[in-house]
Structures are given as C-alpha cells and as structure tokens.
A and B are shown apart, each in its own frame.
Chain A
Amino acid sequence: MRFRTESSPHMIPAHSVGGVMQQVLMALVPGTLAMVWFFGWGVLVNVALAVLFAVAFEAAIVAARKRPVMATLGDNSAIVTGWLFALAIPPLTPVWVTLIGIAFAIIVAKHLYGGLGYNPFNPAMVGYVVVLVSFPREMALWPAPEALSDLSLGLGQTLQTVLTGSLPAALEWDTLSRATPLDAMREGLGSGRTVGEVTASPLFGSFSETQWEWIGNFFLLGGLYLLFRRIIHWHIPVAVILGVAIPAGFFWMLDPDSFASPAFHVFSGAVIIGAFFIATDPVSASTTPLGRILYGAGIGLLIFVIRTWGGYPDAVAFAVLLMNMVAPTLDHLTRPRIFGRSRRGPPPGDGHA
C-alpha cells in the first residue's frame, strides 16, 4: 500500500494567520462600539469604507502581482489595516482622505515591500501619517461627543457629509467640532494656563475627558482578550503604557502645573489602542521578549516626548513608525540565551560540524 509523505509534524496546525487576524478584529469591536456611541455613525462609516478600500486595493495589487487573490485576502490582514486606519481618523473625514490613506497603507507601505510579512513599517500608521501631514485641516475635525452635544447627525447625514465632504445645511464645523483633550491640554498649557485649570472643564472625568476614558477602557477590554487568547504577549502593551506613564509621572511630580498626569497621558488619545493593537503588529515589531519590552518602552517614551515638546498633540503613529526602524536591530541585539550556552561568548563545546 502506498501513502502520502509529508514532513512532520503530523498534526492539525494550532493556528492560522487568518484566525489570528480574526481574533484581532473581534477584539476591536468593543472599543469601536464605544467610539460609535460617543462620536456617532461616522466611525462606522469610516470603518466600512476603509475596510472596503483596503480589501479592494489588496485584491487588485495581489492580482497584479500574480499571486492567489482569495488565499491572500483570507489572511484578513487588509481588514485589520483598514479598520485601524479608520479608528485613527476623525469620524467625519471626507472619503477621498480615506481613499488616499488606504492607498498608501496597502500599496506603498505593504505591497511595494513584498506584502504581508515583509513590510518594515506598520501599514495603517503609514497611511495615517501620510494624511495627517498632508491634510492637517481635515484631520483636526473631531466632533464634539454626542453625549455632550445636542447636535447629532443621523446615519444619512453622516454618509452625506463623508461622501461630499460638506456638512448638511445649517450645521457648521465650528459648532460641531471641538478640540480633543490632548489639543485642549496643549493649547491650554501653551497659553499659560495650568493643568488644573485645563482639567477643571466639566468635560473632564477622572483622568481625561470622559468619553476618551471610556473608549480607552473598551479597547483595554479587547486588548485583555487578546492577551487571554495569547494572540499577543504582555511585553509590548505593558512597556508602551509604562513608557508613557513613567516619564510623564516623573515630570508631573516635578511640576504638576505644567505637566499633565500620567493617567491623563495614558487615557487620552491613542495610547491604549496603540499599546494593544498597533504596536503589537507582529510584522513590524520586535520579536524577542527583551526586544519587545525595549520596543514598547521606546514607543511610550517617544509618545510622551512628542506630545510634550513636539509639534503634534498625539504621537502614537510617529512613535510606532520610528520604533519600526529600530526593530530589526533590537531583535539582533536582544537574542535570548540559547539552551546549553552562557549568555555571552561562544558555546562551551563544538560537537556539531
């Protein structure tokens, strides 16, 4: 009798790339719903459009590269890229901005480097940074949260706004949009007010503005799920959060009037989603345990530095891209000790050649 011969192990594989990405998508759901709750339909419209564009670009370029289209789409990575990009941009961003960002993310940052697994930079963050530096006006239009505003847009109006780029009659950007807490803090401190005066606003909750805190909490929930399912390891998220909190805490203790509290930093902007969902993109991150800690800490530190002394109110995307550059070197320098060897120096014996 003849048999098939394939190489070991002869087991049903424990994981698949598509499955891993699916778990990531599931973990994004609670945070995304929280954003919809606070910022309206726009978030959902953005996610839908960005995912659609990402999958379409991916399919087109994979077909152009003469690779199997369905198998590649099955890894779900384009959906993750589109989704993360959509969460980074303001909810009423015009559709052409999304299209340009996703084109950069999928075509330039991902496939020009060889596709999934070969991209040195996080594609979603490349796309976001491209639109952030190219279209700063559109990127600044975060609407005032629904819960705190009597103006709310229905799904139809939201769609219209996103697709045409102009608000329905009788609405003005000035009344609809409002500074994010990071903007507020930045401007407040810049104009000589103290941290206490800025956070005295009724919009602030315990750490940051209420809605941002809650969004952070729900992304944290998804992140903990990923940790629990062992899709990600603790090193990067913990290092990112501590990387922000420790320097923030240090300066805050020196001068609590001029520097926001570490809790404000962690729960404002994109730190939580960045720590659990963006910095943990395996392809562009460091892969050794110590490397991951240094990588995450570097991201955290850069976020704090750019927020405090740099030109942008938030800095997760810049910090991630900067650390992406260092990741291969970190991997090389932080190799774990091999079994049966000392940490430094050559192996004790040489019995193999």
Chain B
Amino acid sequence: MQLHRFHGGLKLADATDTSTRDPVLVMGVPSRLVVPMGQHIGEAAEPCVVVGDHVSKGQRIGQSKGYIAAHVHAPTSGEVVEITDHAVPHPSGLSAPCVILHSDGHDDWGDSRMEPWLDWDTRDPRRLRQRIRDAGIVGLGGAAFPTAVKMNPRAGQRIHTLIVNGAECEPYISADDMLLRTAPDAVFEGIRIVAHLLNVERVLFAVEDNMPEAMRALTETLPDELRSLIRLVSVPSIYPTGGERQLIKVLTGQEVPSGGLPADIGMVCNNPGTFKAVCDAVIQGRPLLSRIVTVTGPGVQHPRNVEALLGTPFADVIEAAGGYAEGVDRLIMGGPMMGFAVHDDAIPVIKGTNCLLATRPQDTPPPGPLMPCIRCGECAAACPAQLLPQQLYWQAKAKDFDAIQDYGLFDCIECGCCAHVCPSNIPLVQYYRYAKNEIWAREKERQKSDLARERYEFRQERIEREEKEKAERMAKKRAAVKKKEGGEGGDDEKQAAIQAALERARAKKAARAAEKKGEPGSEGASGERPDETSNTTSDTSPTDGDSR
C-alpha cells in the first residue's frame, strides 16, 4: 500500500519496552471510587443517583446532557457516599462534580447489564448507535470524544472508510499495543460492528512499525472472511502519526479540511480500545467501566499495563506497578508530549486515561531559563499542521488575535513538536492555548454585545417610528380642527396640547410599570426616556438580565 508523508513531525525515542514485558494486570476493585461526571469532550453528565443509594455494577449514575455528551456508569456495586467536587484529571487542576462510591465487594451487576446482542448484524444501525450511546463509550485514545456522535454522520455524508488508529505515537504509551496483543479478536469484532453500522467499504487498520508483536497478533487472528474488508497497515513511527489528521494523510494522502472533520471526506477514525468497548457493549451488554492504562516512566518501580476500573485513584494504579521510584516529582496523565502534569495522585482514572507517566527531575528537568526567540524556524520545520509557530508566538504575545487567526491558530493540534525543538525553552503550546481561550472568550463577549446592540437598535427604531406616527397623528388632528373651526382654533389647540400631555403622562406611567414588572425589552417600556439613548454596551442594556 502506498503510504504518504505529513510535513514535519519528530522521530522520538521509543520507551515502551519496559511496560510491555508483563501481561496486562487486571486490577481488583478499590474500596473507594471517585467517578467524575465529566470524563469526555462535551457537557458533563448529571448525577442521577443520590447519596445513600445502593448502585449495582453497570448502573447509570450520570445522565448525559446534550448531544455531544456521554453517560457515566457505576464501575462496581456499592453505596453512593458523596456527590461532591473532587480533584479530577484536568490541566487546570481544578475540582469538578464526582460521584463517590464505596464498593460493597460483591461487584454485582444486579439487573443493570444490557441485553447481549449476539445477533447484532440483524439489528438496525440506529439501535446499535443507541447502544453505543447507552454504554457511555468515548474515544479511548485520550481525547474522549463521544463515539456515538462519530457514528452519526450528517445527512448526505457517506462514510466509505473506517480507520483504526493503532498508531500509538507518544513515547512510553503502550496501552493499545498491549490491547492488540491480548485481545485482537474483540477489536476485530468491534470493527465488524462499526463497519456494519456505518456501512463502510473498507477498513484501514494502522499500527506503528515499532509494535511488531501487536502486528503479529493481528495478522494471525484476522479472520479470513474479514481479509477483504480490513487492511492491516504498518506505518512509520513518526510523532504525531497518531493524530487523526496526520494518520489519514499517511494512509490516504488526503487532508481533512481545516476546521472540518474526517467525516467531511468520508472517513471515521477510532482507537482500537474504542472498538473493543463497542464489542463489549454490543456482545456482552457491558457499558464502559474500565480501561487499559500504561503505568510507566522512570518514576515507577515496575512499569506495566493494567486494566483499571474508571474511578480508581491514580495512587492505587501506581501501587499496582510496584509503587513510586526514589525521587519521583512529576506525575503525568497521557504521554510526555501532550499529557498534562497533575498535582495530586488522589485523582481518579477516567475514560481518557491512557497512560500515567511518573518521572524524576533528571528525566524531566524544570524548564531552563526562558530565552528570546531567535527565529531559527525549527518549530516551523517540525509543525505537522504546516504552521509558522514562531509567528504565532509573536502574535500571541502581542495579543494580535486577528493576525494569529489569519496565520491558522485554530489549525494547531497542540502536539507540542514546536515546543520540544525550541532552543529557547519557550512553552509555545501554552501561548497557543492562551490565545485560543482568549479568542473564545472574546467571541462569547462579542455575541453577547451584538445581541444587546441589536435589541437597542430595534428599540431606537421603534421609538422613532412611534414619534413620527404621533407627530403625523397630531398634524392630521390639528389640520382637521383648523378646517372645521376656521379662526376659532385657540381653545381646541389648547385642548389638543392637554390631550398630548395626558398621553405622554400615560405612556410614562405605563413604561414605569412595565419596568417594575421586569419585562426588559417589552413593547412600549421606557419609550420616552431620553437619558438612556447613549447606552449601547451590554452591561447597561436591559438584555443583560435575560442573557444570563
């Protein structure tokens, strides 16, 4: 098969040999589990249990809200002891709502298991998709995007190619490698289900060339009847080949349009772990309750892969790998390039926890002194999105948010290649994250004030129209009176003036009443308050109240 190249990228030393020596260890049930409600991209789930409830294994404890969202299930049976904010794996280090379970030690499914569908190939794709949603499955490669959403292409979009992303490109991570060595058949079954669901023409299964044992297991297990559908492809291990866009480029030569999705070019890409989870959900009726985590790095005694229940504290997982090594001072969730350092090991394993990497100061020294950018351009040479990181850096620093978007800030995948090659120790990705957040915040603010301005302009227009109508009415009346009375118009004019004054007073009263009732923007309210005409900003406009 003809492979393609993407621009830049890095050849990083592979560091998975220590964690792949032993088979995957299935960890026991911890006595206390902390289950975050937000384990995925999108809105966090809402707890649907209360403190004191006894839950069975696989019972839904978090109800998803919105479309891009996922349910959360009880990883084991036990009692809900607390629903509270707890430290979660998030770069901010902030806490978020979690359901805290005390395990009862029975690991009892009760009646929570979904019906196993051995005859899935007779099921309607919509029901299969619903099953994936019910099982709370998200992408297990790390990004944790709700899988059911990916399985639901927009109207008119035809998905012809399914891509299995076994290109585990970050040094150290071997969770997919071990999964493929251990359970290739379940992965293939999951692929069959998804291929059926999406009715694809072909499946490209990419595995990096530094995972020969996984490749061997797959080649040996691939059923004959799938050989025409699934194509196993060994891809060069260049970081970040495991990025969806980069992998699609390598396999097909096509580029996912900027700002678009793989579905825009008829492709869907998922991690092998996700296919295994789909297989479990459909064939066994088991929601997503656990995942394989690589516990590794020079900071742990015995690097290995474990299968841990979601909600298991990091400390327990590290314990399963023999505990910390002497001098460990950094704990990273994810790989060394894109993972983030957590401040605490009471944080639980979530759906996106593919790796825990513990390091010592000699492995990950504190960043050296920040030097000025010398515009060497190494970052641009390494950037797989073909951006100019050195220019984005200047623009982020200068807060020139128009220019930075013009230079493609939102095409940045935050892979960290630029920061790694930077001779000046500039935390480039941090600058881009900052700029993105700032732009999002401003966009929100702008939408808010646009709405306020629209309402204000509408109101101005209405007031003017009313004034004009009133003036016309008055003129008509006056003309009529003059016509009728000839020279004796004096009293009537006075009358009309009194009438007009009364009308004004009435309008004013009505306006005040309406304001008191708190009906901002309601017709006729504050119609004659000239003092307000200069207020255009959102904080003084009446719309501020109802936009919250």
Contacts and interface: CB of A to CB of B under 8 A. Distances in A.
Contacts of B499: none
Which residue, B6, B422, B443, has most C-beta atoms of chain A within 10 A?
B422
Contacts of B376: 20, 282, 287
B423 A17 contact: yes
Interface stretch (B66-74, B339-347, B475-483): B339-347
Contacts of A338: 258, 385-387, 408, 411
Nearest to A335: B388
Contacts of A138: none
A339 B385 contact: yes
Contacts of A347: 257-259, 411
B378 to A, nearest CB: 7
B329 A3 contact: yes
B371 A17 contact: yes
A340 B425 CA distance: 29
B423 A20 contact: yes
B371 A8 contact: no
Contact of A282 (B12, B337, B377, B419): B377
B343 A75 contact: no
B331 A3 contact: yes
A66 interface: no
A340 B419 contact: no
Given A9-B338, A338-B387, A349-B259, A2 B344 contact: yes
B321 to A, nearest CB: 14
Contacts of B264: 349
A52 interface: no
Which residue, A9, A288, A335, has most C-beta atoms of chain B within 10 A?
A9
B261 interface: yes
A118 B394 CA distance: 11
A5 to B, nearest CB: 4
A349 B260 CA distance: 5
Contacts of B489: none
B375 interface: yes
A19 B422 CA distance: 12
A15 interface: yes
Contact of B419 (A8, A12, A331, A352): A8
Contacts of A233: 377, 381
Interface in B439-468: 439-440, 443
Nearest to A336: B386
A21 to B, nearest CB: 9
A353 interface: yes
A351 B259 contact: yes
B245 A1 contact: no
B510 interface: no
B156 interface: no
Interface residues of A, number: 48
Given A15-B378, A338-B385, A9 B336 contact: yes
Given A11-B364, A19-B423, A5 B341 contact: yes
A245 B378 CA distance: 28
Which residue, A6, A11, A287, A352, has most C-beta atoms of chain B within 10 A?
A11
Contact of A10 (B249, B341, B443): B341
B341 to A, nearest CB: 4
Interface string A265-286: 0000000000000000011010
Interface in A312-353: 331, 335-341, 347-353
A348 B330 CA distance: 41
A75 B374 CA distance: 11
Interface string A63-87: 0000010010001010000000000
Given A10-B332, A11-B336, A71-B369, A282 B374 contact: yes
A117 B439 contact: no
Interface in B345-384: 345, 357, 359, 363-369, 371-378, 380-381, 384
Contacts of A17: 371, 374, 423-424
Interface string A24-50: 000000000000000000000000000
B4 to A, nearest CB: 12
B540 interface: no
A239 B336 CA distance: 38
Interface residues of B, number: 75
Nearest to A353: B443
Contact of B430 (A7, A13, A71, A337): A7
Contacts of A9: 336-338, 416, 419-420, 429
Given A16-B423, A288-B380, A3 B342 contact: yes
A115 interface: yes
B332 to A, nearest CB: 5
Contacts of B324: 1
A13 B384 CA distance: 18
A282 B375 contact: yes
Contacts of B391: 287, 331, 335
Contacts of B255: 339-340
Contacts of A148: none
Interface string B303-339: 0000000000001000000001000111110001111
Interface in A175-207: none
A137 B344 CA distance: 70
B420 A14 contact: yes
Contacts of A16: 368, 371, 423-425
B422 A15 contact: yes
A5 B6 CA distance: 32
Contacts of B359: 10
A126 B399 CA distance: 31
B7 interface: yes
A340 B245 contact: yes
B257 A116 contact: no
B120 interface: no
A337 B255 CA distance: 12
Nearest to B91: A7
B364 A12 contact: yes
Interface in A117-154: 117-118
18 contacts: A3-B331, A3-B342, A4-B329, A5-B341, A6-B366, A8-B336, A11-B337, A11-B420, A116-B371, A117-B375, A233-B381, A285-B375, A287-B375, A287-B380, A340-B257, A341-B408, A349-B264, A350-B259
Given A116-B372, A339-B387, 8 more contacts: A3-B329, A11-B420, A12-B363, A17-B423, A331-B391, A339-B6, A339-B411, A347-B259
| Nearest 7 CB-CB pairings of A with B | A117-B372, A349-B260, A352-B410, A15-B423, A347-B258, A340-B258, A349-B259
